[in-house]
Copies of this chain bind each other. A is one copy, B any other.
Amino acid sequence: MSVNTFGRVLRYTTWGESHGPGLGAVIDGCPPGLPLNERYIQPFMDARKPGQNRFTTQRKEADLVKILSGVFYNADGEQVTTGTPIHLMIENTDQRSKDYSEIAQSYRPGHADYTYDAKYGIRDYRGGGRSSARETAARVAAGAVARLIIPEVRITAYVCELGGDTIDHEAINLDEIGNNPFFCPDSWAAKRWEDLVEKARKDGSSLGAVVECVAEGVPAGWGAPVYGKLDSDLASAMMSINATKGVEIGDGFGAARLTGEQNADAMSPGKNGKPVYASNHAGGTAGGISTGQPVVCRVAFKPTSSILTPVDSINTAGEATKVRTKGRHDPCVGIRGTPVVEAMMALVLADHKMLHRAQVGGE
């Protein structure tokens, strides 16, 4: 079962609730000898952490990661992984001691309030408890460790659509991603989104987004038939992120509108007998195994369910009520989902590199 664990050979388990003392990830199976310290992880956390600008939630969390096990000093005095479980822990520091009585008694539409109660008969309602996107902080920390296993791969995620407004793929400039609060690689789109998000925030509304993630440097041969397909594991990984409703590999739903000729990624001889591809409709996989092209996936995030506009709902007694979610929320949860998508890509690829090594050998 292990429903709070992800991975096949490199496996990590997360624990923690939004307003409990903290949260964490225990990573099992990490190779030994990789340089790992808290300083290395922190920038990944900072990219996701809340409260950094007016376009995200105002909850302030330092998201400092403590490494509580699984590292030791090598002969050179560097902290490296030892091959034993790595526990990464993050304390919660800005849980507002506000009155939760309203949310305790009524179900917020679009949230997991009702379903948790229906399943478990009890829920930690404070800030969404286990169903809060705060859990993704642990994923980002785990993803930072996963990246150490796949130094040959370069992963980049960015928002490619926000509130229905798409970027110009011709205008993509990856250097722009860090220059705006939207992880947007198109500076013109970023400008437009400022207004979009600002308006949604002021209106107490929210917006959806699509995040695109590209992994370059993945060699041909990672992935496995037929239930361990790279596509399958990526889909599972992305759909486990809060607020996601869709996943595409390569052209995705667009491929369903192409003919066989249009969709064919023609090959020609390249260096070392490796193919050169004329296109990448497939998004870097065939038969669930990497082709040597960039692995490309896209993830749809619904608009944040927490909005100020009152919505009809029921309370825990089954009576009609109206719910208006106050508190600090992201007007577009897809934005801060971007580093999480990157982390999940890293975790899936690292896992499959190791799985491949188990079966076929190699360094």
Q: Considering the chains assembled together, what is the distance between the CA atoms of A304 and B31 in angstroms?
A: 30
Contact status A312-B278, CB under 8 Å: yes
Contact status B111-A287, CB under 8 Å: yes
Q: Considering the chains assembled together, what is the distance between the CA atoms of A107 and B292 in angstroms?
A: 14
Q: A68-B16, A120-B33 are in contact. Are A2 and B2 (CB under 8 A)?
A: yes
Q: Is A252 an interface residue (CB 8 A)?
A: yes
Q: Considering the chains assembled together, what is the distance between the CA atoms of A275 and B323 in angstroms?
A: 14
Contact status B221-A115, CB under 8 Å: yes
Number of copies: 4
Q: Considering the chains assembled together, what is the distance between the CA atoms of A123 and B313 in angstroms?
A: 50
Q: Which residue of B lies closest to A252 (CB)?
A: B246
A-B contact pairs, 29 of them (CB 8 A): A3-B226, A4-B225, A4-B228, A6-B227, A26-B26, A29-B358, A32-B122, A72-B122, A72-B124, A109-B265, A115-B286, A118-B219, A164-B256, A229-B240, A231-B239, A231-B245, A232-B240, A240-B288, A245-B249, A246-B253, A255-B302, A255-B303, A256-B334, A263-B305, A266-B311, A266-B313, A267-B314, A269-B314, A357-B358
Beyond the given pairs A2-B2, A3-B29, 17 more chain A to chain B contacts, judged by CB atoms under 8 angstroms and listed by A's residue number, are A4-B228, A15-B69, A33-B121, A115-B285, A115-B291, A118-B291, A120-B360, A232-B240, A235-B235, A236-B236, A246-B247, A246-B253, A264-B305, A267-B313, A269-B320, A273-B318, A361-B363
Distance to closest chain B CB from A258 (angstroms)? 6
Q: Which residues of B contact A281 (CB under 8 A)?
A: 302
Contact status B29-A1, CB under 8 Å: yes
Give the residue of B246, B249, B259, B320 whose beta carbon is less than 8 angstroms from that of A268: B320
Contact status A260-B363, CB under 8 Å: no
Contact status A28-B13, CB under 8 Å: yes
